C-alpha cells in the first residue's frame, strides 16, 4: 500500500470513530442527567413532598403540594384554551387552506413557536398582569397557552396531511359534504398522530418556568382561586435551586425528579405507545 492510501484510510478511521464518540457523548448526557436526578432526587423525596406545603429554610421536611396542584391547574387551563384553538387552526391549514392566507398563518405560527419563552412571559405580563393589577394563575395559563397553540397547530396540520388523499376522495365520492368528510374520515384517520402532537405540546409547556416567573409568580401557600399568585413546580425548582440553603436545594432536586418523571413519561408514552405504527413528522 502506498503512503497516500494509508493516510486516507487513517483519516477515514479516525473521523468515523470521532462521529461515533460524539454520538456516544451526546446520548450519555441524557443518562448522566437522569442519573444525577435519580440519585439526588430520591434522597430528598418522601410522600410528604406530594401533599405538604414548602417550609421556610432551616426546617427539615415539607413538600411542594401547592406547586404540583398549581402546575396541573395552569397546564390544564392552558390546554383547555390552547388545544382546541391549535387543533382547529391546524384543520384549517391542512383541509380548508387558501394558498396565500394559509402560508401567512403557517409562517406566523412558526414565528410564534420560535419566540423565546421569556418574551412570552413579558407579553402575558403586559397583556394580563398589568391591566388586572396582579399576578395570577390565569395570567400564567394564558402565557402557557400562547406557547401551546402554535405547537399544536403545526403538529395537527402535519399529521392530517399524512392521511392519504384517496381517503378524502372516497368520502366525497360517497356524497359526504366536505366538513362531514373531514370530521368523520380525515380527523379519525389522523387522530393518533394528532394526540401524540398534543401530548408532546402539553409536556413541553409543563416544564416551562420562564413564562410563569412574572405572570403566576409563586406562592408559599395554597392558592385560593385562579386570580391569585400560584406556585408551579418549574418556578419552585428555580427559586429553591438558587437559594443558599441546603434543605431548599434538596427540595429542588426532589422537585426536579418529579418534573422530569412527568415530562419524560408523557414523551415516551406519546412517542412509543400512541405513535406506534405511524411516522412522526418533526416540526
Instruction: Give the one residue of 6, 80, 119, 173 binding other proteins; rule: CB under 8 A.
Output: 119
By CB under 8 A, which span of 52-60, 65-73, 96-104, 223-231 interacts with other proteins?
96-104
Query: Is 20 among the residues that bind other proteins (CB under 8 A)?
Result: yes
Query: Is 96 among the residues that bind other proteins (CB under 8 A)?
Result: yes
Distances in Å between the Cα of 74 and the Cα atoms of 215, 259, 261 are 11, 15, 18
Query: Is 173 among the residues that bind other proteins (CB under 8 A)?
Result: no
Got the DSSP string for 96-113?
A: S--HHHHHHHHHHHHHHH
- For the bound state, the minimum distance from the C-beta of residue 205 to other proteins, rounded and expressed in Å, comes to 10
Nearer to other proteins, 189 or 236 (CB): 236
Q: What angle do CA 220, 66, 236 make, to 5 degrees?
A: 60
Query: Is 109 among the residues that bind other proteins (CB under 8 A)?
Result: yes
3-class SS at 230? coil
What residues from 33 to 92 belong to the interface with other proteins (CB under 8 A)? Answer: 33, 36-37, 40, 84-85, 88-89, 91-92
Instruction: Give the one residue of 110, 164, 169, 278 binding other proteins; rule: CB under 8 A.
Output: 110
197, three cell numbers: 402532537
- For the bound state, the minimum distance from the C-beta of residue 207 to other proteins, rounded and expressed in Å, comes to 3
**Sign of the CA dihedral running 89, 272, 205, 230:** positive
CB 154 within 8 A of CB 89: no
Amino acid at each position: 500500500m502506498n503512503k497516500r492510501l494509508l493516510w486516507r484510510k487513517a483519516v477515514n478511521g479516525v473521523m468515523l470513530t470521532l462521529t461515533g464518540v460524539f454520538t456516544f457523548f451526546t446520548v450519555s448526557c441524557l443518562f448522566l442527567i437522569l442519573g444525577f436526578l435519580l440519585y439526588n432526587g430520591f434522597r430528598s423525596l418522601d410522600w410528604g413532598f406530594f401533599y405538604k406545603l414548602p417550609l421556610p429554610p432551616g426546617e427539615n421536611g415539607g413538600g411542594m403540594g401547592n406547586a404540583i396542584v398549581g402546575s396541573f391547574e395552569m397546564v390544564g387551563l392552558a390546554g383547555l384554551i390552547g388545544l382546541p384553538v391549535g387543533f382547529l387552526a391546524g384543520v384549517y391549514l391542512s383541509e380548508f387552506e387558501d394558498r396565500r392566507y394559509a402560508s401567512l398563518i403557517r409562517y406566523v405560527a412558526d414565528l410564534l413557536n420560535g419566540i423565546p419563552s421569556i418574551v412570552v412571559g413579558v407579553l402575558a405580563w403586559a397583556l394580563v398582569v398589568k391591566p388586572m393589577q396582579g399576578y395570577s394563575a390565569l395570567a400564567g395559563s394564558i402565557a402557557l397557552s400562547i406557547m401551546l397553540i402554535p405547537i399544536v397547530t403545526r403538529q395537527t396540520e402535519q399529521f392530517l396531511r399524512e392521511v392519504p388523499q384517496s381517503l378524502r376522495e372516497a368520502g366525497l365520492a360517497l356524497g359526504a359534504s366536505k366538513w362531514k368528510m373531514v370530521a368523520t374520515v380525515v380527523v379519525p384517520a389522523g387522530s393518533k398522530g394528532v394526540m401524540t402532537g398534543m401530548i408532546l405540546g402539553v409536556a413541553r409547556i409543563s416544564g416551562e418556568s420562564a413564562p410563569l416567573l412574572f405572570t403566576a409568580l409563586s406562592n408559599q401557600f395554597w392558592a385560593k382561586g385562579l386570580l391569585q399568585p400560584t406556585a408551579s413546580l418549574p418556578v419552585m425548582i428555580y427559586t429553591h435551586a438558587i437559594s443558599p440553603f441546603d434543605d431548599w436545594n434538596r427540595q429542588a432536586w426532589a422537585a426536579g425528579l418529579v418534573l422530569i418523571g412527568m415530562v419524560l413519561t408523557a414523551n415516551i408514552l406519546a412517542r412509543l405507545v400512541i405513535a406506534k405504527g405511524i411516522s412522526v413528522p418533526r416540526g
